[in-house]
DNA sequence: AATGAATGAGATTTCATTCAT
DNA sequence: CATGAATGAAATCTCATTCAT
């Protein structure tokens, strides 16, 4: 193999990218260091110059995702939510999330399907990620409940749980499965369901 | 080790039970055949008399779950759904599911957290399970929509997806996490959210 | 499996016959106790009532062969060799051997192809067999040399060695290989070669 | 264990050499991968870097022998055989073979005593080897028969068979058994027997 | 910094043998 | 006597990690 010398950060990213692709394709368990270095076209020893092991590169993948997600959360938190429940604004909000996952398919696949089942440390990292998002949601709901635009009997924690669940399958069983997921249809259904449940319309 | 002779089915079940406990405790990846035979108090060779390998006993665990779940689905399908949306009946329905998962904690843990990420064959088995349940849900919704008791703009497939997602996190992030999950609270919140979404009550 | 009770000797022979067939078909190494009991249609435990193990049944097979061969040797030794080299008598002698091997194909296959290579004890048994035959040959040759009908420069031990070798390949590479070996052709060639070598005839 | 890095071919040869020694000493069946790596002073994993398993290294041993033998055959074929049967030349020819086997005792032991009994694939390899040699012999005999220096009634295929047999026992029961085999005596006896058989001399 | 041959702990798997029924 | 489920020692094999080059 040609001996290419790259600066540390580029090489690290090259390995990380390769790992994301391979993990997405074969899953954590079935992925061997060999798969990663073959994908990255790098020698065995080189891998260990950048990551202490398989577990650690997986954690680095999660961390990478965490950063991307944090940026998204920060951006969404910056957007001021309207005092009232505006269907269009909610849909836009949901779509922003869905687009993020659709854009980072491989990464999302890795995280959503594996991060919770492989290793306690992976799970821990995942839970911190999940908590961050849920805290954000709970806080928003509380504010809207105080304004009276949101049903009082709704327990924000339950709602956050439900939202997380809908995210989960929307991602795992729809976005990651279909070749061309109809994000708009999904967001539309989502918002309607979230606003009015399954009961026939008695909207104003 | 004491040599006990059991009939084939009992011994198989003993191994399966042991496997469920160990998989739930340590996860598929971290579980070795050694762990399983220690838990089952059985000799190494005995394991291979009943299962060709680790992968296969895991598949057998999934199949076992599939059977339990199929019985539940059959039972629920036998129950006639009311023509109208009755809150109490819906809640009872949801509770039946939740109790099932709470009862089979170990098994559920194994299935929900691992089955999709270990092996393509596991995933396949899991998807068939998931489809069975979703077809059931979609069919019920269609019937209620025809009766006009269910919002017409609701896409049954989207709804089934959402329900599956709520199940998923309700199970993974609530039932499996807490020591004494409050199933009643969860069912209550679930039904309310499902019926009316987050919008303040405008019920009759 | 039906529980059939047979007298000890019959059951032993049943197992021995099965073993000969399986050893001939698959070789000692590739043959498992399982193969033998399947072929004999006998339970696992039953095998161990008659033979202490795999090695021992193989030794019993060799011993069985030894007995058959001993009978043949005894018979041949009884036949008085002519004082002169009679082509016809020699050929008949060789044919008797060849027919024996052709008749006991399976057994011969086992013995000739495996007995020397599996285990020191097998080898030992084989060597004793081989020595018996060679001693017989050497003694006959010496007698004929004394009568002056056999070349004096011929070392009887070398000759016995050569005869054994010719037997070996005649058996392994001709009799055991062809479906319908032409024993007569073989005996004819053998005797001619033994008598006159490759040199053109200068016979009286 | 000291970590020595060798080029691929050297390491492979080191393993092959170790395997030959161990196979010769303990036989195929009794040899474990462990024995081979201990003999080669190499780690367990290193073995699997070069050979997929025990069967394969054995096949490689046979192939190695095949190559050595092929060289010898090529060399012998290059030597022009005399038009007449020259005792001295024939003896030299036989001695060349015998010396080859005496030189490669270990390898010969492995091949001659095991190759035909372990595995169908081994046997196949062995038969190809055997055929190569026999074709060479048959062709030479035919030529000599055409020149009239060789008995016409001799069937070359029978002769090649006999030669192979004599080789076999000469090797297995003489060369491999004695510590200091008298190759010259053996060659002498061989050539005499081959030329004139057992009949008293009627040479010119 | 990069390489890839070498390592070995630990996993899986086999199968001759035992023994409760 | 006969059975065959159970045993476990000993084999094979994998792969994350190390380290001489």
For residues A128 and A204, give the distance between their C-alpha atoms in angstroms, rounded to a whole number. 40
Contact flag D200-C130 (C-beta cutoff 8 Å): no
Q: What is the mean pLDDT of residues C133-142?
A: 86
Tell me: the pLDDT tens digits for B3-12?
788 888 999 9
Tell me: the pLDDT tens digits for C88-108?
988 998 999 999 999 998 888
pLDDT beyond 60 at C2:
no
Chain B's closest residue to A194, CA to CA, is: B197
* Partner B, chain A 31-60, Cβ-Cβ below 8 Å: none
CA distance C105 to chain D (A): 16
Q: Where are the domains of chain D?
A: 1-51, 59-196
Backbone angles phi, psi at C115, to 5 degrees: -55, -25
For residues D12 and D199, give the distance between their C-alpha atoms in angstroms, rounded to a whole number. 52
pLDDT beyond 70 at B52:
yes
CA distance C60 to chain D (A): 19
The pLDDT mean for chain D works out to 87
Binning chain B into helix, strand and coil, the percentages to the nearest 5 are: 75, 0, 25
Class level of CATH domain B58-196: mainly alpha
Q: Specify whether the backbone of A5 is left (phi greater than 0), alpha (psi in -120 to 50) or beta.
A: beta
Backbone angles phi, psi at A152, to 5 degrees: -75, -30
Model pLDDT, residue C129: 78
Q: Specify whether the backbone of C85 is left (phi greater than 0), alpha (psi in -120 to 50) or beta.
A: beta
pLDDT beyond 80 at B203:
no
A151–B contact, CB cutoff 8 A: yes
State both tokens at D50: 């070069």
Tell me: the pLDDT tens digits for D2-24?
678 888 999 999 999 999 999 98
Between CA A105 and C1' F17 the distance (Å) reads: 31
Is 1.10.10.60 the CATH number for B6-51?
yes
Backbone angles phi, psi at A42, to 5 degrees: -140, 155
Instruction: Note whether C39 and C21 are within 8 A (CB).
Output: yes
Contact flag B199-A150 (C-beta cutoff 8 Å): yes
Q: Which nucleotide's C1' atom has the smallest distance to the CA of D44? A: E8
Chain D residues in contact with C174 by the CB 8 A cut-off are 161
Confidence of residue A204 (pLDDT cuts 50, 70, 90): very low
Tell me: the pLDDT tens digits for C159-168?
999 999 998 8
- Among B99-103, D69-73, D96-100, the range scoring the smallest mean pLDDT is D69-73
Contact flag A167-B167 (C-beta cutoff 8 Å): no
Contact flag D114-C117 (C-beta cutoff 8 Å): yes
A177–B contact, CB cutoff 8 A: no
CA distance B162 to chain A (A): 5
Percent of chain A at pLDDT exceeding 90: 37
Write the CB contacts of D46 (distance below 8 Å, at least 6 apart in sequence).
D11, D15, D37
C168–D contact, CB cutoff 8 A: yes
For residues C35 and D47, give the distance between their C-alpha atoms in angstroms, rounded to a whole number. 31
pLDDT beyond 70 at C117:
no
State both tokens at B172: 């993974």
For residues B195 and A194, give the distance between their C-alpha atoms in angstroms, rounded to a whole number. 10
C169–D contact, CB cutoff 8 A: yes
Preferred mutation among B55, B91, B192, B199 to probe A, highest tally of A CBs within 10 A: B199
Between CA A43 and C1' E4 the distance (Å) reads: 7
pLDDT beyond 60 at D155:
yes
Q: How many CB atoms lie within 10 A of CB C32?
A: 12
Contact flag B196-A200 (C-beta cutoff 8 Å): no
State both tokens at C193: 């070669």
Instruction: Note whether A141 and A154 are within 8 A (CB).
Output: yes
Model pLDDT, residue A45: 93
Instruction: Note whether C168 and D165 are within 8 A (CB).
Output: yes
Write the CB contacts of A59 (distance below 8 Å, at least 6 apart in sequence).
A121, A122, A125
Contact flag C200-D114 (C-beta cutoff 8 Å): no
C46 CB neighbours strand F below 7 A = yes
Strand E contacts (CB < 7 A) among D residues 45-74? Answer: 45-46, 48-49
Chain D residues in contact with C173 by the CB 8 A cut-off are 130, 161, 164-165
Backbone angles phi, psi at B181, to 5 degrees: -65, 140
A partners (3+ CB pairs within 8 A) are B
- In CATH terms, the fold of domain A59-196 is Tetracycline Repressor; domain 2 (1.10.357)
Model pLDDT, residue D204: 46
B177–A contact, CB cutoff 8 A: no
Instruction: Note whether C122 and C62 are within 8 A (CB).
Output: yes
Binning chain C into helix, strand and coil, the percentages to the nearest 5 are: 75, 0, 25
pLDDT beyond 80 at B98:
yes
Chain D residues in contact with C146 by the CB 8 A cut-off are none
Q: Which nucleotide's C1' atom has the smallest distance to the CA of D1? A: E7
DSSP tag of A43: -
For residues D174 and C130, give the distance between their C-alpha atoms in angstroms, rounded to a whole number. 13
Model pLDDT, residue C121: 76
DSSP states of A76-122: HHHSPPPSS--HHHHHHHHHHHHHHHHHTHHHHHHHHHHTTTS-HHH
Model pLDDT, residue C201: 60
Which of A80-94, B109-123, D84-98 shows the highest mean pLDDT?
Answer: D84-98
Pick B48 or A9 by higher pLDDT.
Answer: B48
Which CATH homologous superfamily contains domain D1-51?
A: Homeodomain-like (1.10.10.60)
State both tokens at C177: 């290989």
Q: What is the mean pLDDT of residues A133-138?
A: 86
B153–A contact, CB cutoff 8 A: yes
State both tokens at B13: 């079940």
Percent of chain B at pLDDT exceeding 90: 38
pLDDT beyond 90 at B176:
no
D43 CB neighbours strand E below 7 A = yes
Between CA B35 and C1' E14 the distance (Å) reads: 19
């Amino acid at each position: 193999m040609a001996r290419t010398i790259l600066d540390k950060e580029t090489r690290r990213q090259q390995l990380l990218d390769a790992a994301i692709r391979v993990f997405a394709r074969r899953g954590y368990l079935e992925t061997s260091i060999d798969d990663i270095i073959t994908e990255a076209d790098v020698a065995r020893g080189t891998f260990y110059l950048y990551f202490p092991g398989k577990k650690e590169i997986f954690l680095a993948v999660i961390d990478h995702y965490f950063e991307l997600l944090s940026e998204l959360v920060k951006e969404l938190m910056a957007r001021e939510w309207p005092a009232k429940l505006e269907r269009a604004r909610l849909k836009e909000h949901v779509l922003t999330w869905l687009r993020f996952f659709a854009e980072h398919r491989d990464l999302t696949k890795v995280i959503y399907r594996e991060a919770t089942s492989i290793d306690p440390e992976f799970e821990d990292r995942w839970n911190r990620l999940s908590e961050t998002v849920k805290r954000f949601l709970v806080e928003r709901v509380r504010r809207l409940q105080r304004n009276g635009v949101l049903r009082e009997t709704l327990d924000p924690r339950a709602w956050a749980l439900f939202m997380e669940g809908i995210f989960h399958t929307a991602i795992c069983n729809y976005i990651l499965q279909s070749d061309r997921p109809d994000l708009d249809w999904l967001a539309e259904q989502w918002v309607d369901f979230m606003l009015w449940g399954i009961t026939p319309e008695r909207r104003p």
